[in-house]
Amino acid sequence: MKEIEPHTTASQDEYPYWVPDGMDQGEPSIYDNVMIWLRSPRRWKDRNLKRFKNIRISARKFRHTLGSFTPDDLRDDLRYSEFIESLQREIESSELAQSTLDGYLGYLTGKVLTYGEVNPRIVEEVKTQLTIIKKGMRKRKAIHRGIEEDEIVELIRSLDEMCENPERAPNLSRIANENSSNAISERTSPHLLLALRAYVWLTLVSAGRADSIRRIRISDVSEDHFIREISKMRTYSEEVRTSMPEWAFERVEPYLEYCRENHPNAVFLFSEDENKRGRGTINPKTLQEIKKGAMKNIGMEPTSAGGYYRLHDLRTVWCEWMDKGGASVEQMSVFLGHSSPKVTTKYYFAEGHKRRLRQEAWEAGIGQIEALVQERENIDHRIDELYNQLHEIGFFSDGKGGGVYPACWDEDDDMLVRAPGLEPGTP
């Protein structure tokens, strides 16, 4: 089924089971309804927006199931059960990272089924069933390996070597993907190497997200600072000014010069604006590809579950660096542009960082328990000492003619020894 042209009327392309003379051979499936909705002329111009891409990709991930059922099929109890079972098989057989799968399932129940014309009540029932399926799988949360400090050093060293000697640089696109359209040539182009090095260094010194780094304007990069925009709620952006160390600018400046000479009309240092590829200097797919190739080229393993190579994981490394430098969680949260310190501690503390904090918290708590136990033991010891001292005295007088014999405390009978004439019943 083609998905590259908008449609205004029903056709064989929209409904594979419709014949050219218009005879209806059946109802469109849930998947067909979603694709028709996406290809409406009112949405076609915005088809490359992230929100529409996510809907399209999520629908494709479950195309086998969505293409086998119509909205009306889910009104039938038997067909509904078959639909849930089919979804369950797709979920359980998926090799996607759990977080990625959760994202697709969120779009499935939040957007795809709705635009597939499934009854809202049934959508809620499907959502409940998917929750039950995920709980039944009891998957352990995937641990992001992250990026190690020695890997950062090796990566930036490798980039320097390739930029200084491009004639010896390998084809990074081929290393990332043997089937890439850029895998034909023997070497990676020098300007692509300069772009990659600038991209890595801008990300490294600012712990910036990939989208905010790609949208940096050429005019906003100077010798002592650069400005990037952080998107907030996808409705407005906030400017963030980051100092530019001299040793970082040395790696970024060559690409700035290349852009000014070869792309005088370029607005963005790399390629993108908020909605589409702007007047940029490098295809974002190529940038992503050579970045992965450079990381694989030094023997780096995937940085996160699902086999992904992400510079985004440098933000986790930054948390560790800031913690060692004495920064508070609130300072980390503001620096990373998070809405709350809770986001920072939940998603951006590396596993090693969490283990250390967990151990420090345990030691602090167990220390209080130890002090409490020690205090109780000291009190018991002091009571024993006092008891022994009283035994050694043998008789303790109250100064008024009365007294006690400590040895009598161990007897079962009357524990109090009274002075003569003061026994019970004495008139």
Q: What pLDDT, on a 0 to 100 scale, did the predictor assign at position 134?
A: 86
The pLDDT, as a whole number, for residue 250 is 95
DSSP string across 341-357: HHHHHHHSS-HHHHHHH
- Tell me, yes or no, whether 59 and 199 share the same domain: no
Residues 129, 157, single domain; the answer is no
How crowded is the C-beta side of 382, counted as CA atoms within 13 Å?
6
Q: Is 125 among the domain residues?
A: yes
Pair 177, 302 in one domain: yes
What is the Cα gyration radius of the chain? Answer: 35
Q: State mean pLDDT over 44-71.
A: 89
Per the document, the length of the chain is 427
pLDDT, position 181? 87
20-34, 192-206, 337-351: which is most confident:
192-206
Q: Is the pLDDT of residue 335 over 70?
A: yes
Within-domain flag for 5: no
User: pLDDT value at position 16?
Assistant: 46
- Both 158 and 239 in a single domain? yes
How is the chain split among helix, strand and coil, in percent rounded to 5? 55, 5, 35
Q: Are 166 and 202 in contact (CB under 8 A)?
A: no
pLDDT band at 305 (very low <50, low <70, confident <90, very high): confident
Least confident among 98-102, 230-234, 249-253: 230-234
For residue 369, being part of any structural domain is answered with: no
Q: Say which residue, 194 or 350, is predicted with more confidence.
A: 194
109 and 212 both lie in a single domain: no
Q: Give residue 244's pLDDT.
A: 94
- Predicted pLDDT of residue 101: 86
> Average model confidence (pLDDT) for the chain?
82
325 occurs within a structural domain: no
CB 200 within 8 Å of CB 211:
no
Single out the residue in 137, 160, 190 at which a domain terminates.
137
Name every residue whose Cβ is closer than 8 Å to that of residue 234 and which is 6 or more positions away in sequence.
none
Q: In the predicted model, what is the mean pLDDT of residues 318-346?
A: 89
| Same domain, yes or no: 120 and 218 | no
> Cβ–Cβ contacts within 10 Å for residue 90, how many?
16
**Domain identity same for 187 and 296:** yes
What secondary structure letter does DSSP report for 17? Answer: T
Question: For residue 251, what pLDDT is reported?
Answer: 96
The residue range of the domain holding 179 is 149-310
Instruction: Give the range among 5-9, 163-167, 224-228, 344-348 with minimum mean pLDDT.
Output: 5-9
Same domain, 425 and 302: no
Number of domains in the chain: 3
325 vs 246, 332, 341, 347, CA distance in Å?
21, 11, 17, 20
Degrees (nearest 5) of the Cα angle 200, 206, 212? 75
| Residue-wise DSSP of 179-202 | T-TT-SSSS--HHHHHHHHHHHHH
| Strand residue runs (E) in 199-343 | 225-232, 236-243
Question: How many Å apart are CA 122 and CA 76, to the nearest integer?
Answer: 11
Question: Given the DSSP bridges, would you call strands 396-397 and 403-404 parallel, antiparallel or unpaired?
Answer: antiparallel
Domain end, chosen from 105, 137, 169, is at 137
Neighbour-count burial for 168-203, b at 16+ CB within 10 Å, e otherwise: ebebbbbbbeeebebbeeebbbbbbbbbbbbbbbbb
Q: Is there a single domain that holds both residue 235 and residue 116? A: no
Does residue 237 lie within any of the structural domains?
yes
Please report how many Cα atoms fall inside a 13 Å half-sphere around the Cα of residue 286, on the Cβ side: 19
Q: What is the mean pLDDT of residues 339-349?
A: 86
Please list the alpha-helical segments (H only) found in 62-107: 63-66, 77-93, 98-107
Please tell me whether residues 112 and 159 are part of one structural domain: no
- Write down the pLDDT at residue 229: 85
Please check whether residue 164 lies inside any domain of the structure: yes
- Among 268, 284, 310, where does a domain finish? 310
User: Which pLDDT tens digit goes with each residue over 113-164?
Assistant: 999 999 999 999 999 999 999 888 776 666 678 899 999 999 999 999 999 9
What is the pLDDT confidence band of residue 11, given thresholds at 50, 70 and 90?
A: very low
The region of weakest confidence among 91-100, 189-198, 407-416 is 407-416
Q: Which range is least confidently modeled, 101-110, 163-172, 233-242, 299-308?
A: 233-242
Average pLDDT on 177-190 reads 90
Establish if 354 belongs to a structural domain: no
- What pLDDT is stored for residue 163 in this prediction? 96
Task: Evaluate whether residue 427 is within a structural domain.
Answer: yes
Per-residue model confidence as pLDDT tens digits over 213-231 = 988 999 999 999 999 988 7
Residues 168 and 213 reside in one and the same domain? yes
d(CA 312, CA 304): 10
Residue 99 pLDDT greater than 70, yes or no: yes
pLDDT at 95: 78
Q: Say yes or no: 154 and 297 in one domain.
A: yes
Has residue 254 got a pLDDT over 50?
yes
pLDDT for 106 equals 92
Q: What is the CATH number of the domain that holds 196?
A: 1.10.443
pTM, entire model = 0.68
State how far the Cα of 268 lies from the Cα of 280, in Å rounded to an integer: 5
